[in-house]
Structure 1
């Protein structure tokens, strides 16, 4: 599109000539950080060719950046960021942001007060972008990006809808690996302790485990929720043992719940793995130090945080990064060894 000789060229024309988005063109013109050299040079060339003169008011608005991003979790757990999973996510996010001038703000946003605080930050433009974790059900926080125009990256898909930008692990595929391992080791009476039933990760892990067993002709005896909490995992294991005394394998949707299940099995006199095989999900550092060491589905938790931050920085720069699904794999240890020990 060539500008009319009767008027000044517009920012849209500059963006089209440079082959970049309008946002990227604005950031390059206003010398905002996190714009690639190639895009900056293309925009500068388009500005010269078209004779574009920035609007002073628009320039002031475009350069009003605070140099901070938010990692927000919609969780009612006060100690959430002390949880090993989220601690690893924070480490991953921080390492990615080390390459930028952006500061990281952590926000617990499940209480009305926390939710209001985050929404005030968005309305007053005190953040350049948001990373959202632990969304449950149809959480209104999931619509922050649509309402504010600020880039939002999801850590894990929400239960409903598919956002523009997200990083997730292959939850369903990882759970199927757990089911296949249960079948290979000769177990025929498996149960599952799932997480919070209104989260996408929990639903996907239950589906993957159930489908893997179905393909092998093995029925899943029962599923009980443990809410991703160690103490609830212990309670769920009690419930399953009472209902199915002959169960011989349990897959839990998190390592924390697996630790709770191991405690219950020990208290009830069930040997692991001789009587019951136990498989978790996450493969955090503590999985190596359970008694016995935990067989678990490994997901790259630190990489999840790192890729979320990289994706957000890219979106802030005016780019349109593609969603990312990270691979999972099974880490076999003594709680469910490859060769199933014979009961004695």
Structure 2
């Protein structure tokens, strides 16, 4: 037995288990060519001695870092204020809770050029990556295809291929749900605050919105670009009211933008829903606390993040890419803003 003040070594584990050092190493690190009897003996010795593998040495054997990256190419202040991104971070961390894997967070620095995150991912510091809130020009899709690093996107890539796996909500259908609800409410002068058009979520939600308005014969010229943030929604609402003061229905492509827009409507004496009906997107905590509570399209974020993490862990452990993209259904949540 080892001294109480000395950490047990691999040699001690091997002696206690009655196997060679190389057999003990393979058994501890998940290698093959280990008999069930030897594996059981090593497992018992590890438990008896309280042996903890040296992470650096283990990585030499397994060629793994035991680290997973969560890549969010947004500035850190956005992570702290956007409930969707904060929830994504918490969800991935929780999904890794039952493993020995470490979570590495990679955010964008203010005004940085694309490439820093890509260089980190190429350097072999992590075993895989989950990518959320990606943009058209952040170079992540091309980089991950080139590195062959196991990766799963939360949100559809712009150029999905069999080697770019993703989990998403059907954002096109979500845009349709919002538009249909406003049309059914009898609103005919409709406006939308879009998500960023360099993100697939922003593009797809606008696509669904336009489809329904076209089918209903309603003009969709009242469009302002937003950034999914509260201040961006407020600024976009100011522009909409200046150019289209007669609007009676609004779809904001995130709950935060809807909240900002509703504050501006109140400042201009426009009542929700009496004068303007409002529909948001996400159904995060803020939706139930706006005044009035927000009718919105539910984005199943928790399920998306869990599925993406499970898929990545399977990729890292087994190397299999026998997956298809998972696209979840949105749901309209009725409250009091329509």
TM-score, normalized by length of structure 2? 0.78
Once the 2 structures are TM-superposed, how far is the Cα of residue 113 of structure 1 from its aligned partner?
6.1
CA shift in 2, pair 1:110/1:198, >3 Å:
farther
**What is the rounded CA distance, in whole Å, between the counterparts of 1:97 and 1:114 in structure 2?**
30
- Counterpart in the other structure of 2:331: 329
Q: Deviations over 1:41-63 (max 9, x none)?
A: 9x99xxxxxxxxxxxxxx98661
Structural mapping, 1:33-44, within 5 Å: none
Q: Is the 8 A contact 2:115 2:139 kept in 1?
A: no
Once the 2 structures are TM-superposed, how far is the Cα of residue 74 of structure 1 from its aligned partner?
1.2
CA shift in 2, pair 1:154/1:184, >3 Å:
same
Structural mapping, 1:87-236, within 5 Å: 87-109=86-108, 118-162=117-161, 164-236=164-236
Higher RCO structure, 1 or 2 (CA under 8 Å, sep 6+): 1
**What is the rounded CA distance, in whole Å, between the counterparts of 2:61 and 2:249 in structure 1?**
57
**What is the rounded CA distance, in whole Å, between the counterparts of 1:309 and 1:108 in structure 2?**
18
Q: Is the 8 A contact 1:89 1:306 kept in 2?
A: no
**What is the rounded CA distance, in whole Å, between the counterparts of 1:211 and 1:72 in structure 2?**
32
Once the 2 structures are TM-superposed, how far is the Cα of residue 114 of structure 1 from its aligned partner?
8.9
CA shift in 2, pair 1:30/1:135, >3 Å:
farther
**What is the rounded CA distance, in whole Å, between the counterparts of 2:266 and 2:223 in structure 1?**
20
Kindly report the root-mean-square deviation, in angstroms, between the aligned alpha carbons of the 2 structures. Answer: 2.6
Aligned length: 289
**What is the rounded CA distance, in whole Å, between the counterparts of 2:81 and 2:247 in structure 1?**
33
CA shift in 2, pair 1:238/1:82, >3 Å:
closer
- Counterpart in the other structure of 2:13: none
- Counterpart in the other structure of 1:291: 291
**What is the rounded CA distance, in whole Å, between the counterparts of 2:88 and 2:271 in structure 1?**
34
Once the 2 structures are TM-superposed, how far is the Cα of residue 111 of structure 1 from its aligned partner?
5.2
**What is the rounded CA distance, in whole Å, between the counterparts of 1:140 and 1:120 in structure 2?**
11
**Aligned to 1:279, what secondary structure does the other structure show?**
strand
CA shift in 2, pair 1:244/1:138, >3 Å:
same
**What is the rounded CA distance, in whole Å, between the counterparts of 1:123 and 1:271 in structure 2?**
52
**What is the rounded CA distance, in whole Å, between the counterparts of 2:160 and 2:137 in structure 1?**
9
Once the 2 structures are TM-superposed, how far is the Cα of residue 218 of structure 1 from its aligned partner?
2.1
CA shift in 2, pair 1:296/1:195, >3 Å:
same
- Counterpart in the other structure of 2:320: 319
- Structure 2 unaligned spans of 5+: 1-25, 36-57
- Counterpart in the other structure of 2:15: none
**What is the rounded CA distance, in whole Å, between the counterparts of 1:69 and 1:182 in structure 2?**
42
Q: Is the 8 A contact 2:281 2:297 kept in 1?
A: yes
CA shift in 2, pair 1:322/1:249, >3 Å:
same
Q: Is the 8 A contact 1:166 1:308 kept in 2?
A: yes
CA shift in 2, pair 1:117/1:139, >3 Å:
closer
CA shift in 2, pair 1:81/1:152, >3 Å:
farther
Structural mapping, 1:305-316, within 5 Å: 305-316=305-316
Once the 2 structures are TM-superposed, how far is the Cα of residue 77 of structure 1 from its aligned partner?
5.2
Q: Is the 8 A contact 2:157 2:166 kept in 1?
A: no
CA shift in 2, pair 1:129/1:223, >3 Å:
same
